[in-house]
């Protein structure tokens, strides 16, 4: 994956996760068309943090980036949901929002890093 | 120093400056045409199949309601894929063709049926709904609550996306099928040098995966992570890969593998042990660089069983350790499934035939690869180990299915090796015969995958009747079904009392038996009779076609049941208390 592709991917991911968080804050957990919500939020939940991690780690192979995206994000969602349930503070929406915030933070770091590398 | 270097580069002996960039190549019209045809095949297939599966489906499954033109659409990606594979091998054509093939095979039921299929998927949606509602696990109700990882994650997904868990069922199989292709592609790229073999391996996997474990279920989720772990291990930690990735990258990948193993251990009983067992022989033989990885994975799995699944293992240790009788496992898994109506037996035989063909081809491919040194021992080990684990488990018939599924990735690659070897080197006749055979096999794939559709699909009428039943029945009342083939409990498994179905292996219970069970609940009871349940008894237990009608006559004849609601697909009978029955 070239630096330019990484930069573009990080920018898209940052913008996407930021907009979704904004939408959730404004419209709440049930605003909008359900199918559209699944299409917009679902990919970020099952692959968001992992994609950001793959961008941070700068793997050359796109296929490996894709696999790492799932390999990190899905377990993270499971572990956070399990922690929420077993701690007695079951908050499924909180788990999803945490996943989105993590995506936003990690992809923002990746974006800043790639931009810095591009300027240097 | 740097100025000297600059001068040297600009001196008379310096290479000429790079030529001006070439003008962009004109769009490849032929490639675009192929992509357009593939998109058209999917769209036409969707239009042709839409709504066709909402009525009664015959004993051969979904293929009975799909029009012949759908099979034509199914052949289009196969023809384009195979043609491209033997000519130019452009990813921009192979990938859309593979995706189109996957969508037309795995999406056929989602296209044809307007309701989500498969009773177990509905129950899983019920588990998620229950956890969302209560924030607790009803461990005493079902053993699957001891492995709730997938259900809690699905709950978080549904809550954040703002959808009902049952709304995720319909398209989940297609999503899992497409998602599986990515780790498979990475795995194959690590294991085989030939692009042709790798792409054909992916196609074989799509066509030969009839097991149907890719519905909304922990095992589908576990299988995706299993494939992802295998792909990462084969890519970054196989022998000979040292130095390919930076230490921080390797550390991150190991962390991801451990996290994935933990998530799988929390989600499913069998998959984590299968993952550890699959990686054990390569580790013992030094084919992977992290030799302790299988031990770590097994430890995580055992730790979860000891902690999270304590309620379950105290009574089922033998099933978990699974040191079963290999003969009985295989007999239950294979022989025990060839039962029921002649058509159902034929469907099961198609499945066995497909599995046998893949394994035969894989055996031939393994021999060829070893002779030509084209595939390593790692591939052979991950193909064979899942099959060997089947012999040592007591998971019943499901275990054999899982053994086939977990061996299929590497087996598909080896089968592709055999096919490419057989059709290569100018053997045009063999190649054409292979293509013809492949096209003939596509309908068989639909029969093998969706041959149980007569009793696994859900009609809109049945779904409406079940929804009306839940509106009618007071919580806590007893709900009885004819057979296990009924899609309900999507609102949670604890709101009502669900005794065993009417039909057992010894045949249907009598109305008198039902009266005895229902009389024990003062909140009342209901009996649901639907077409899919009747089809299950007919196809799987060889009952006469009118056995459902006979049972309904018995119910009404007892004087203790009255029709509460119904439509063309399902009827719900209300149990009448003794006093009300006497008045009638």
For residue B290, pLDDT beyond 80: yes
The stretch B106-122 carries a mean pLDDT of 93
For residue B412, pLDDT beyond 90: yes
List, for residues A1-26, the tens digit of each pLDDT value.
Answer: 888 899 999 999 999 999 999 999 98
ipTM strictly over 0.90? yes
Q: Assess A12–B contact: CB distance below 8 Å, yes or no.
A: no
pLDDT class for B4, splitting at 50, 70, 90? very low
Q: Shortest Cα distance from A111 to chain B (angstroms)? A: 18
The stretch A60-84 carries a mean pLDDT of 96
The residue among B110, B150, B159, B160 with the most chain A CBs within 10 A of its CB, best to mutate, is B160
Q: Which chain A residues contact residue B260 at CB under 8 A?
A: 71, 74-75
pLDDT class for B102, splitting at 50, 70, 90? very high
Q: Assess A104–B contact: CB distance below 8 Å, yes or no.
A: no
pLDDT class for B582, splitting at 50, 70, 90? low
pLDDT at B336: 55
**Which percentage of chain B shows pLDDT scores above 90?**
59
Most confident of the ranges B238-242, B320-324, B407-411: B407-411
Q: Assess A93–B contact: CB distance below 8 Å, yes or no.
A: yes
For residue B13, pLDDT beyond 50: no
Q: Shortest Cα distance from A86 to chain B (angstroms)? A: 9
Mean pLDDT rounded to a whole number for chain B: 86
More confident: B475 or B392: B475
Q: Which chain B residues contact residue A31 at CB under 8 A?
A: 162
List, for residues B38-81, the tens digit of each pLDDT value.
Answer: 999 999 999 999 989 898 898 999 999 999 999 999 999 999 99
pLDDT at B26: 58
**Which percentage of chain B shows pLDDT scores above 70?**
88
CA distance B125 to B131: 10
Whether the Cβ atoms of residue B184 and residue B102 lie closer than 8 Å to each other: no
For residue B392, pLDDT beyond 80: no
Name the CA dihedral angle for B543, B545, B549, B550, rounded to a multiple of 10 degrees. Answer: -50
For residue B512, pLDDT beyond 60: yes
pLDDT class for B93, splitting at 50, 70, 90? very high
Between A52-56, A89-93, B519-523, the lowest mean confidence (pLDDT) is in B519-523
The stretch B374-392 carries a mean pLDDT of 82
Do the chains contact at A34 and B161, CB–CB below 8 Å?
A: yes
For residue B399, pLDDT beyond 80: no
More confident: A112 or B323: A112
The stretch B423-438 carries a mean pLDDT of 76
Nearest to B155 among A41, A57, A81 (CB): A81
Comparing alpha-carbon positions, the chain B residue that sits nearest to A66 is B182
pLDDT at B24: 60
The residue among B128, B145, B151, B161 with the most chain A CBs within 10 A of its CB, best to mutate, is B161
Do the chains contact at A34 and B167, CB–CB below 8 Å?
A: yes
Q: How many CB atoms lie within 10 A of CB A61?
A: 14
Q: Which chain A residues contact residue B311 at CB under 8 A?
A: none
Strands of B355-439 (E only): list them.
none
Comparing alpha-carbon positions, the chain B residue that sits nearest to A72 is B256
SS3 B155: helix
Do the chains contact at B156 and A100, CB–CB below 8 Å?
A: no
pLDDT at B7: 37
The residue among A78, A87, A93, A98 with the most chain B CBs within 10 A of its CB, best to mutate, is A78
Comparing alpha-carbon positions, the chain A residue that sits nearest to B134 is A90
Do the chains contact at A75 and B159, CB–CB below 8 Å?
A: no
Beta-carbon contacts of B255 under 8 Å, excluding residues fewer than 6 positions away, are: none
DSSP alpha helices (H): ranges in A28-89?
A: 34-57, 62-86
Q: Give just the sign of the alpha carbon dihedral B83, B85, B87, B90.
A: positive
pLDDT at B369: 86
The residue among B127, B153, B159, B237 with the most chain A CBs within 10 A of its CB, best to mutate, is B153
pLDDT at B506: 77
pLDDT class for B37, splitting at 50, 70, 90? very high
The stretch B325-340 carries a mean pLDDT of 55
More confident: B321 or B105: B105
CA distance B114 to B122: 14
Q: Assess A45–B contact: CB distance below 8 Å, yes or no.
A: yes
The stretch B320-337 carries a mean pLDDT of 51
Q: Give just the sign of the alpha carbon dihedral B116, B120, B126, B131.
A: negative
Q: Shortest Cα distance from B157 to chain A (angstroms)? A: 6
| The length of chain B, given as a count of residues | 584
The stretch B514-542 carries a mean pLDDT of 91
More confident: B163 or B400: B163
For residue B10, pLDDT beyond 90: no
């Amino acid at each position: 994956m070239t630096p330019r592709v990484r930069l573009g991917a990080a920018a898209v991911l940052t913008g996407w996760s930021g907009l979704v968080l904004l939408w959730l804050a404004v419209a709440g957990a049930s605003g909008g068309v359900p199918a559209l919500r699944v299409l917009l939020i679902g990919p970020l939940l099952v692959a968001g943090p992992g994609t950001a991690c793959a961008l941070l780690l700068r793997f050359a192979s796109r296929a490996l980036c894709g696999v790492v995206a799932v390999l990190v994000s899905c377990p993270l969602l499971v572990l956070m949901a399990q922690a929420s349930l077993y701690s007695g503070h079951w908050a499924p929406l909180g788990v999803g929002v945490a996943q989105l915030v993590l995506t936003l933070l990690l992809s923002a770091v990746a974006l800043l890093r790639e931009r810095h590398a591009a300027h240097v | 120093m740097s100025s000297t270097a600059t001068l040297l580069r600009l001196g008379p002996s310096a290479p000429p400056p790079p030529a001006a960039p070439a003008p962009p190549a004109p769009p490849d019209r032929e490639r675009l045409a192929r992509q357009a045809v593939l998109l058209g095949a999917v769209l036409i297939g969707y239009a042709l199949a839409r709504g066709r599966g909402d009525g009664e489906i015959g004993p051969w499954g979904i293929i009975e309601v799909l029009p012949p033109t759908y099979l034509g659409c199914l052949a289009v990606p196969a023809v384009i894929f195979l043609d491209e594979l033997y000519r130019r091998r452009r990813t921009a054509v192979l990938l859309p063709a593979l995706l189109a093939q996957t969508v037309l095979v795995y999406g056929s039921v989602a296209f044809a049926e307007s309701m989500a299929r498969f009773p177990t998927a509905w129950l899983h949606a019920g588990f998620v709904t229950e956890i969302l509602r209560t924030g607790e696990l009803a461990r005493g109700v079902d053993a699957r609550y001891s492995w709730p990882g997938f259900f809690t994650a699905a709950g978080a997904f549904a809550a954040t996306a703002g959808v009902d868990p049952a709304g995720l069922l319909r398209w989940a199989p297609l999503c899992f099928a497409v998602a599986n292709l990515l780790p498979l592609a990475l795995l194959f790229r690590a294991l085989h040098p030939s692009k042709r073999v790798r792409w054909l391996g992916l196609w074989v996997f799509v066509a030969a995966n009839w097991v149907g474990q890719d519905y909304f279920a922990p095992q589908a989720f576990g299988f995706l992570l299993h494939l992802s772990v295998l792909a990462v291990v084969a890519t970054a930690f196989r022998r000979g890969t040292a130095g390919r990735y930076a230490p921080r990258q390797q550390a991150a990948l190991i962390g991801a593998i451990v996290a994935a193993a933990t998530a799988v251990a929390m989600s499913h009983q069998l998959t984590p042990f299968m993952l550890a067992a699959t990686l054990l022989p390569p580790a013992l033989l030094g084919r992977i660089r992290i030799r302790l990885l299988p031990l770590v994975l097994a430890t995580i799995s055992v730790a979860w069983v000891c902690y999270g699944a304590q309620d379950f293992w105290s009574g089922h240790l033998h099933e978990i350790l699974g040191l079963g009788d290999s003969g009985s496992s295989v007999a239950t898994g294979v022989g025990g499934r060839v039962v029921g109506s002649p058509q159902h037996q034929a469907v099961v035989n198609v499945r066995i035939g497909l599995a046998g063909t893949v394994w035969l081809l894989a055996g031939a491919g393994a021999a060829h690869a070893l002779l030509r040194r084209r595939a390593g021992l790692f591939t052979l080990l991950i193909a064979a180990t899942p099959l060997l684990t089947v012999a040592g488990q007591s998971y019943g018939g499901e275990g054999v299915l899982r053994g086939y599924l977990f061996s299929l990735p590497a087996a598909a690659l080896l089968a592709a090796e055999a096919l490419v070897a057989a059709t290569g080197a100018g053997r045009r006749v063999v190649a054409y015969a292979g293509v013809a055979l492949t096209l003939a096999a596509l309908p068989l794939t639909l029969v093998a995958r969706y041959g149980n559709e007569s009793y696994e699909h859900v009609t809109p009428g049945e779904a409406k009747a079940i929804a009306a039943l839940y509106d009618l029945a007071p919580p806590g009342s007893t709900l009885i079904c004819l057979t296990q083939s009924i899609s309900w409990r999507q609102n949670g498994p604890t709101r009502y009392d669900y005794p065993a179905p009417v039909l057992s292996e010894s045949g249907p219970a009598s109305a008198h038996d039902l009266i005895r069970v229902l009389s024990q609940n003062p909140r009342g009871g209901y009996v649901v009779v639907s077409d899919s349940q009747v089809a299950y008894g007919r196809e799987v237990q060889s009952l006469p076609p009118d056995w459902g009608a006979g049972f309904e006559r018995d119910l009404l004849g007892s004087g203790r049941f009255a029709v509460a609601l119904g439509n063309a697909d399902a009827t719900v009978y209300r149990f009448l208390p003794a006093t009300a029955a006497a008045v009638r």
